[in-house]
Amino acid sequence: MSNTINVTRSSLPDFEEFCGEIRDIWDSHWLTNMGEKHRRLEAELEKYLGVPYVALFTNGHLALEALIDAFSLQGEVITTPFTFASTTHAIVRRGCTPVFCDIDPESYTIDADRIEDLITERTSAILPVHVYGRLCDTEKIQAIAKKHGLKVIYDAAHAFGVFKNGVSSACFGDAAMFSFHATKVFNTIEGGAVCCPDKGLYDKMYMLKNFGIAGPEDVPFVGGNAKLNEFCAAMGLCNLRHLDGELEKRRLVHERYWERLSGVPGIRLAQPQAGVTPNYAYFPVVFDGYKDSRDQIFDRLAQNGIVARKYFYPLTNSFACYAGRPGFDPAQTPVARHIAGRVLTLPMYADLPQAEVDRICDLILD
């Protein structure tokens, strides 16, 4: 349907701008293997995010797997089931056991007050997830990790461009992973990154995404292939130039939704976080006691050409691929289960017209 409103739409630079950015690729014939565009984008992201090192990857999932590998994590990793499949899959695929902590009912991020009760002698790390651009309780999580000698890796796929008291979300924990998928606030078509504070970890990331190769005759790691190509890096360079403008447009969409839907009985909106500069990545609405259920609203919007998303539903600890495994039980995370059964993310992108926002809200409030 040409008039369908999708839950998101990828931000793109002007066509001529992108063509100009990729023109010199035809001169160099350098298409991948950490070329000039790749190096420039890493440097630009380090500057924007205020971190010492950014290692680009072909996607966020492989970046997360590489981080787990780089820290040689074993045993149990405390995380949240209220996340995209990638978070849990990365832990399992790297041979670790996810231990699911419930979420905070206001922020929808991991409930830091419940983490310590889940720590055992087998725990090696905490892998919290910033959700919808809303940040975890980073101070409390860091204090717990320091007390117990644990690594902290943040899944920050939703949190690009989010700052807490002026500090980028890239700066928390031992490392942070970002996704630059086409649906994200900042995209490189497909892509991802690891942000880290030290050169040693950056070098290890470099080798792990390049078959473990350190030099022409030196292969100290068993690595894979997760290099970001030059065309994706070029898209990132273009999109980064326009990021502030995109965020401002998203803010206006967010404010219109807020204006129309706040204060409605049975509709719960995510409240602003103190000291946090948001990125307006998503607009989650929890229908809890509303006259219509989440699923009824979802169907009504779909019937009118509007694609919302039950995000995150189902919880990762209820996936069919993990059925029967110990610890994969949504009943053990009741707050997350409650929210997952009621949350709907509404269409949110920079160029969404306010008239369409009003139409969406009219259908919800009808």
pLDDT at residue 274, rounded to an integer: 97
Secondary structure percentages of the chain, helix, strand, coil, to 5: 40, 15, 45
CA dist 192 to 166, 177, 211, 233, 266, Å? 23, 7, 17, 10, 37
pLDDT at residue 3, rounded to an integer: 82
pLDDT at residue 366, rounded to an integer: 85
Interval 290-312: pLDDT, tens: 999 999 999 999 999 999 999 99
One-letter identity of residue 311: Y
Question: How far is it, in rounded angstroms, from Cα 292 to Cα 298?
Answer: 10
Interval 195-212: pLDDT, tens: 999 999 999 999 999 999
Tokens 């969409």 found at = 253
Question: How far is it, in rounded angstroms, from Cα 309 to Cα 321?
Answer: 22
Return the beta strands (E) in the chain as ranges: 53-57, 76-79, 97-100, 123-126, 151-155, 163-164, 167-168, 175-179, 192-196, 267-269, 276-277, 283-287, 343-346
pLDDT at residue 2, rounded to an integer: 55
**Measuring CA to CA, which residue among 66, 63, 105, 108 is closest to residue 83?**
108
One-letter identity of residue 347: P
Q: How would you class 336 by CB atoms within 10 Å of its CB: exposed for 0-12, middle for 13-18, buried for 19 or more?
A: buried
Check: CATH 3.30.450.90 for 243-365?
no
**Taking a C-beta distance cutoff of 8 angstroms, is the pair 253, 348 a contact?**
yes
The CATH-assigned architecture of domain 15-102+109-241 is 3-Layer(aba) Sandwich (3.40)
Q: What is the dihedral of CA 297, 303, 307, 308, to 10 degrees?
A: 0
pLDDT at residue 4, rounded to an integer: 93
Question: How far is it, in rounded angstroms, from Cα 212 to Cα 219?
Answer: 5
* CATH 3.90.1150.10 placement within the chain: 243-365
Q: What are phi and psi of 267, to 5 degrees?
A: -115, 120
Sign (positive or negative) of CA dihedral 332, 329, 309, 160: positive
Q: How many CB atoms lie within 10 A of CB 352?
A: 23
Runs of H (alpha helix) within 214-345: 230-241, 243-261, 294-303, 334-340
Return the beta strands (E) in 156-213 as ranges: 163-164, 167-168, 175-179, 192-196
DSSP calls for 45-68: HHHHHT-SEEEEESSHHHHHHHHH
Strand-pair partners of 215: 218
* CATH 3.40.640.10 placement within the chain: 15-102+109-241
Q: What is the pLDDT along the chain (366 residues), one digit of tens a residue?
A: 458 999 999 999 999 999 999 999 999 999 999 999 999 999 999 999 999 999 999 999 999 999 999 999 999 999 999 999 999 999 999 999 999 999 999 999 999 999 999 999 999 999 999 999 999 999 999 999 999 999 999 999 999 999 999 999 999 999 999 999 999 999 999 999 999 999 999 999 999 999 999 999 999 999 999 999 999 999 999 999 999 999 999 999 999 999 999 999 999 999 999 999 999 999 999 999 999 999 999 999 999 999 999 999 999 999 999 999 999 999 999 999 999 999 999 999 999 999 999 999 999 998
